[in-house]
Each structure stands twice: as C-alpha cells, then as structure tokens.
Amino acid sequence: MKCALHPDIETSLSCGKCGTPICPRCMVQTPVGARCRACARLYRIPTYNVKLSHYLRAAGAGLGMALAGGAAWGFVISLLRGFLPLYLNLLIAPLVGYLIGEVIGLATNRKRGIGLAVLGGVSLLLAYLVALLVPWGLRFFMLDILAFALGVFVAVSRLR
C-alpha cells in the first residue's frame, strides 16, 4: 500500500477513521489512534486565534492604560517623594503592568498571543515614559530599570 500524500513511500498504516493510507510523516497521533490530517482536525485554539480587530482593541486599551497608569504612577511617586523608599517602585511597576495586561485581556475577550504580549510590553514602556514626564515624578535610576523589567514581565505573562 502507498501513502495517499507521498506515493513513493510504502506503508501499512491507515487512518483509523476514513481508512486512507498514511505514512509516519502524515500520521497525527490522537487519543483514539492514528489519523490523517483531515480526520484529526488540527485547529488552532480559539484563545490564540487573534484577529486584526482584537489587535486594534488591544492597542486602544493599551494606549489608554499607558496614559492613565503612567500618570498615576508618576503622580504617586511625586506625592510620596520624601516618604517613599526607592524600592517601592518595584511594587508599583508590576502593579501597572498587571493592570495593563488585565485591561488588554478584557478588551480582547481574554485572547492571548505573542502580538498581544508585545503590545502589553510596549504599553508599559509608554506608561514608564509618561511617568517620567510627570513633574517631580520618576527619576531615572538603576532600580527603575529593574522595576520596569518586572512590570514588563507581569504584563507579558498576563497576555502570553
């Protein structure tokens, strides 16, 4: 018997559903046995099926949260400048990252993917830049880079 897709390969395998001869390269192992690709129905999980409209909604939500979160981040730092230990920024940045990831997730109906994770990271970068622009807000310290990295990690992990 010859494989239906690769006629130069001899095989003794056949699809468990339709009986089409398949070779080991064509075979898809399923819980009920070996199947051809057509019968295995390999579909992408709907959670990772992100369309252009989802990206547009995510970009809008990310931009809005970057502006609001960055302004709040800079405002809180400016209010607590004299009383604030420098390491408290290590808590504020992941909180802003979490909020950005959560709002983008809600705007896209909990879709996930690499593109959405990149949008979350870029949104946190914009929030950090907005926080730097707030008068008496953030000042560029080495600890802020670590805080920013933690915030990006949290935002990306919510969307990946």
Span 138-160, pLDDT tens digits: 666 777 888 899 999 999 999 98
pLDDT reported for residue 136: 67
String of b and e for 91-112 (b: at least 16 CB within 10 Å)? Answer: ebbbbbbbbbbbbbbebbeebb
pLDDT reported for residue 140: 63
Residue 84 pLDDT class (50, 70, 90 cuts): low
**What is the per-residue pLDDT across 58-74, written as a single tens digit (0 to 9) for each?**
999 999 999 999 999 88
The larger pLDDT score, comparing residue 141 to residue 13, is at 13
From the centroid of its chain, how far is CA 111? 8
Q: In sequence order, which residues have a C-beta less than 8 Å from that of residue 28 and are 6 or more positions away?
A: 34, 35, 36, 37, 40, 42
Residue 127 pLDDT class (50, 70, 90 cuts): very high
Report residue 31 as tokens: 């819980």
Nearest partner of 88 among 157, 153, 150, judged by Cα: 150
